[in-house]
Chains A and B, each alone.
Chain A
Amino acid sequence: MPERIIVPFGPQHPVLPEPIHLDLVLEDETVVEAVPSIGYIHRGLERLIEKREYTEYVYVAERICGICSFMHALCYSQGIEEIMKIEVPDRAHYLRTIWSECSRLHSHLLWLGLFADSMGFENLFMRSWQLRESVLDVLEDTTGGRVIQGTCKVGGVRRDIGAEKLAEMHRALDPFEAQCRDLGDVFLNDETVKYRLQGLGVISKDEAYALGAAGPTARGSGVAMDHRETGYAAYGDLGFKPVVETAGDCYARCAVRVKEVYASIDLIRRAISEMPEGSLDVKVKGAPDGEYFSRVEQPRGEVVHYLRGNGTKHLARARIRTPTLANIPPLVKMLPGAQLADVPVVVLSIDPCISCTER
């Protein structure tokens, strides 16, 4: 039997700027076992709900993650609205959809950049982030924040996007899509990228389903599961089909995200042209009493906010299951058999967001 060595990976590793620790048991350069551990930055945000009024917790929920921030706020608000039976105006639904998809765009472009970096393709990394910057500019112009938008609230949204800005965004979409397609072509067609990704970290459809994989990790294995299909916010009006790849390897997971970038651009375009007029929010009175499992599709997969109110201004419990936590078991199954050189690629292919996980 070859000699085994243990290579620590993380919690502070330059290729993965997230505090997850993996003990990699190696035989030569092949991984035989990977043991993950987290909890380096646990913040106890779930307990903070007992000290904050439910309307203010939106800002805390938004700060669970710096990338899916808007979607955490959206998921939380939707949960409260469901418990309190609040009907949100249509325009708020559409604005929420636009900001959600902008967040998805910036998250996926960020991920594509990090992914390129993990396989040593610096130029592609720079290009992805350069494109992401234009999405962030739009977010800053419309919400006031680059990554923490702070525009979602219980009962609607806090800000409107003016007709002029909407038209400008609509005009900018076509050139932006062309640039994204150039970028996507590199990810999907470049030989060196394919050589690094194809056949790596394969997880079958059944396995992905049984392990409870979420988001692009599941869809890359052929599980057609995307919470946007349930038609929350304006997705029901806009119509939506999940992007599915069947190979189940890192290349498939990358392809899912690249195609979701295109799909998001398309959704934004349609949401802008079908934007209804109307009010932005409804007045929220009273306090939530009841419980609800609110679910939203984040860039990384489905997030679950379990909210439970007891008739006071303070909720009794918020439990947040982030997609990365659900994707850790598939990751543990993917790693054995991979080369050490491929470990960063495999780990990044689930798009780990540890700060989400350590809510």
Chain B
Amino acid sequence: MTVNEEQTTIGVALEDLTREVKALQTDGYRLVQIGCTDTGGAYEVNYSFDRGYQYRNLRLTVGPETEVPSISDIYWGAFVYENEMHDLFGIPVNGINIDFKGTFIKTAEKYPFSVTRRGGDQCRNA
């Protein structure tokens, strides 16, 4: 039996985020990942969900210092991704259930992937 995988991406506004996530949870979606992409000065945060190999993305676009509400009260396991968002990108996340306050991923440099750092850290090999 082969299932066709479909991927959809929809934009979401910051204030609608928790409501949309809640709706997806009620629909029986599981959280696959939360990932950030910096788009030169701002971040795109992809919240990915899956139900029966149907892939849905909520895409949130935020500025560098914008606080993002945590979805860890809806998906308990979201704390790993949200701590990662904070530790690598420096995006402040509000109200994570297990907040490591920047110690989940102990990098030598704080917020190594942050947009405000761009250009400062040259890759040694480049």
Contact = CB atoms under 8 A, between A and B. Distances in A.
Interface in B101-126: 103-107, 112-113, 123, 125-126
B106 A37 contact: yes
A231 B46 contact: no
Nearest to B38: A317
B33 A321 contact: yes
B30 A210 contact: yes
Interface string A224-235: 000101110001
Contacts of B125: 51
A212 interface: yes
A304 B48 contact: yes
Main secondary structure, interface of A, reads: mixed
A330 B77 CA distance: 8
A319 B34 CA distance: 10
A262 interface: no
A250 B62 CA distance: 41
Contact of B100 (A37, A241, A317, A321): A37
A142 B68 CA distance: 49
A64 B84 CA distance: 18
A251 interface: no
Contact of A212 (B30, B37, B126): B30
Cβ-closest 4 pairs across A and B: A329-B77, A39-B105, A231-B2, A321-B33
20 contacts: A39-B107, A42-B105, A42-B106, A42-B107, A48-B123, A210-B76, A212-B32, A212-B77, A227-B53, A231-B2, A231-B3, A293-B57, A304-B33, A321-B35, A325-B80, A326-B33, A329-B79, A329-B80, A330-B77, A358-B105
Contact of A230 (B5, B35, B46, B98): B5
B32 A304 contact: yes
Interface string B42-75: 0000101000010101000000000000000001
Interface string A324-350: 011011101100000000000000000
Contacts of A306: 33, 35, 37, 46
B76 A230 contact: no
Contact of B55 (A229, A231, A293, A321): A293
Report the interface size class on chain B. 35 or more
Interface of B: 1-5, 7, 30-33, 35-38, 46, 48, 53, 55, 57, 75-77, 79-81, 84, 87, 98, 100, 103-107, 112-113, 123, 125-126
B80 A39 contact: no
A51 B5 CA distance: 31
A44 B117 CA distance: 15
Nearest to B106: A39
Contacts of A212: 30-32, 75, 77
A230 B2 contact: yes
A157 to B, nearest CB: 22
B53 A230 contact: yes
Interface in A38-53: 38-40, 42, 44, 46-48, 50-51
A289 B125 CA distance: 25
A29 to B, nearest CB: 24
B77 A230 contact: no
A308 interface: yes
Contacts of B2: 229-231, 235-236
B3 A51 contact: no
Given A50-B123, A210-B77, A325-B80, 9 more contacts: A37-B106, A46-B113, A211-B77, A230-B3, A231-B3, A241-B1, A292-B7, A293-B7, A316-B37
Nearest to B88: A42
Nearest to A214: B32
B104 A38 contact: yes
